[in-house]
Amino acid sequence: MCGIVGYVGSEKCQDIVIGALERLEYRGYDSAGIASIDEEGLHLCRAVGKLAELKAKIKKMPIPGNTGIGHIRWATHGGVTEHNAHPHYATDEVVIVHNGIIENYAELKADLIEKGVVFTSDTDSEVLAHLFSHFIKKGLPPVAILQEVISKIEGAYAFTALSKSYPDTLMAARNASPLAIGLSDNMAVVASDALAIAHLTRHVIYLKDNDYAIITSKGCTIYDSNNEIANREIVQVKASPVLLDKAGFRHYMEKEIHEQPDAISHTISAMSDTTGRLTAGLDISSLSSIKGIVLLAAGTSFYAAQIGRYWIEKLAGIPVVCEIASEYHYRQPVASCQSTAIVISQSGESIDSLLAMRYAKKLGLDTFGIVNVVDSTIAREADKILPTRAGPEIGVASTKAFTAQLVVLFCLAIALGKQNGHISASRADELHHQLLKMPGAVGKSMELFDSIRPIAHKLKNASSCLFLGRDILYPLACEGALKLKELSYIHAEGFASGEMKHGPIALLQDGLPIVSFVSDDDMARKAVSNLKEADARGGHIIVVGTQSALNLLDFAAEKITIPECEPLLTPIVGAIPAQILAYLTAFEKGTDIDQPRNLAKSVTVE
């Protein structure tokens, strides 16, 4: 993960670098740093903790100069300490910021130590600073220095280096980790994410893998892996560059939970044509070419994929497999039954999902991206995009992006089923009609904050919690467990209700909280039997469902009633109480809700 920034131009660099880092804080928040250069030489300031700590430090000791680099860290190699924070330096000659992992850093470090280099951090990144220093001392020009450094390193990287020998130049490169260069009059800026610099310029070049660049205030020259000058297109950043506030809510997550009715209705609109007909944004030939699907995703997006699989198989009769992105390409999967890979990613930057998509492309599959960030790498590399219109999601725990992903998948399932005749046109229209009720049902679910608060108050004392569901509610149970553990740090696991008796039931003891999602369909009675088994063994049963489903569950200790809805759509409405329960439990425990420990919004390391 981590976020990097560089600026060279006519303005003072400090506030520009910090402003971009503020917009990159979703990528990590263990520590942060800034370095600059002026006629006196290099200046450096680093601080452990969130960006606010760095800001407090530089308030006392400002960073001068018009050329600077910055970094926000999510620790991979080396603990969270000031000496492991970036920028890293080599003597007083060079400073670097890096995102990614230099996989052969141990060999490089050993070699450099043998040459007499003294390391001051435990990171993989520091080798970059010393490699730069080594080649700068040889008197090479920036292009040759970059070529030499890149030829030595292996792994994923996006980096920017600043040297005393070339004070008006940023040297940058990328492989697998994203890097965008923004250009404007008398300045250039580089960052891990185009949105972090969109308030400075909307004209951006995305470096491709193995590209490297020499950047000055007058522009940039980009080279490809053959060391040829590469003509990369300047594109206009589409997304809004505003730095979002919490609009009166206590946390971004709370705000984003409340934004779901809008996120859902905007996403439904994006899946419909101008007459309101549901097309999933695809024409008939694209729909009819989909014969078998592999859904690739990570974390919450993976649970959306699993729910999508039930829908697509039930409504369109098309075979679907779901793959955890980080496992997919290493497993050497057989894709002969599939025509299409659909990658689901809020950020569009998760490296696991990106690499899985590239692998699927190599296998000859058409690639679709269900992404929320339309300028992201996955969005740019996919053959087609099915956008979630959730708007920027800042809270690390995914909420509105998840329900928007579900909407896209449901629309796709209906469009495919209608197109291939698996469901009738009238059934498709009925389901579309039911989907249009979702913004209202989800809006009504916001009233659940009050009824869930006392449940969260008790749950905060639990050391463990199980989540259960059957059929389309099984992946929702897993998502509920993920939300609770990432926010409140309470151990939580999601199980298929019917699987309890095959082992997990051994965990049951008096008072163990069991959150169970129940839908009003032919699965309800089976889920009730599974819950009775848990109740008989002392489990504290908390059920989530519509009133008609809950009528079967008079023995439950706590009931969370969601608005009535088409049973197939229960995962969308049921997601809201799962999010609220996790949010309120974390609130009661006083954890850092928007930036939980050890996490980052966008996971760009393998």
| Nearest distance in Å: CB 301, ligand M6R | 4
Print the binding letters for residues 253-292 with ligand M6R: x by CB under 6 A, - otherwise.
----------------------------------------
Q: Looking at beta carbons, which residue is closest to ligand M6R?
A: 299
- Per CB under 6 A, the segment of 159-167, 268-276, 334-342, 391-399 that binds ligand M6R is 391-399
# of chain residues touching ligand M6R (CB under 6 A): 17
Structure tokens at 170: 């940023």
Active site residue 337: no
- Pair of tokens at residue 53: 């700590």
Our CB check for ligand M6R shows the closer of 480 and 539 to be 480
Contact status: 396 vs ligand M6R (CB under 6 A): yes
Q: State how far the alpha carbon of 496 is from the alpha carbons of 501, 503, 504, in Å.
A: 10, 12, 10
Out of 350, 530, 546, 595, the residue judged to bind ligand M6R by CB under 6 A: 350
Taking CB under 6 A as the criterion, the residue among 4, 180, 191, 298 binding ligand M6R is: 298
Q: Are 559 and 553 in contact (CB under 8 A)?
A: yes
Q: Does 301 bind ligand M6R (CB under 6 A)?
A: yes
Taking a C-beta distance cutoff of 8 angstroms, is the pair 178, 192 a contact? yes
**281, 299, 369, 439: which one contacts ligand M6R (CB under 6 A)?**
299
Binding segment for ligand M6R among 267-275, 393-401, 409-417, 508-516 (CB under 6 A)? 393-401
Is 28 a binding residue for ligand M6R by CB under 6 A? The answer is: no
Q: In angstroms, what is the minimal distance from the CB of 88 to ligand M6R? A: 26
Q: Please state the closest distance from residue 293 (CB atom) to ligand M6R, in A.
A: 18
H or E segment to which residue 286 belongs: helix 284-288
Selected from 66, 300, 561, 585, the binder of ligand M6R by CB under 6 A is 300
* Other CB atoms within 10 Å distance of the CB of residue 471: 24
Q: Is the dihedral of CA 49, 54, 57, 59 positive or negative?
A: negative
DSSP 454-469: HHHHHHTT-SEEEEEE
Question: CB of 490: closest distance to ligand M6R in angstroms?
Answer: 15
Contact status: 160 vs ligand M6R (CB under 6 A)? no
CB contact set of 62 (below 8 Å; sequence gap of 6+): 14
345 binds ligand M6R (CB under 6 A): yes
Among 204, 397, 549, 572, binds ligand M6R (CB under 6 A): 397
Which residues lie below 8 Å from residue 63, measured CB to CB, with a gap of 6+? 13, 14, 17, 34, 35, 36, 43, 45
For the bound state, the minimum distance from the C-beta of residue 578 to ligand M6R, rounded and expressed in Å, comes to 11
Give the integer Cα–Cα distance in Å for 2 and 29. Answer: 8
Of the candidates 346, 367, 519, 585, which one interacts with ligand M6R according to CB under 6 A? 346
| 84, 125, 163, 398: residue in contact with ligand M6R (rule CB under 6 A) | 398
Tell me how far apart the alpha carbons of residues 112 and 105 are, in angstroms, rounded to a whole number. 10
Question: How many angstroms separate the CA atoms of 263 and 406, rounded?
Answer: 11
Are 469 and 579 in contact by the 8 Å Cβ rule? The answer is: no
Our answer to whether residue 485 is catalytic in this structure is no
Give the integer Cα–Cα distance in Å for 481 and 466. Answer: 7
In this complex, which beta carbon is closest to ligand M6R, that of residue 405 or of residue 561? 405
Q: Cβ of 133: how many Cβ atoms within 10 Å?
A: 22
For ligand M6R, the binding residues (CB under 6 A) are 298-301, 345-347, 350, 353, 396-398, 482, 486, 599, 602-603
Please list the active-site residues. Answer: 2, 601
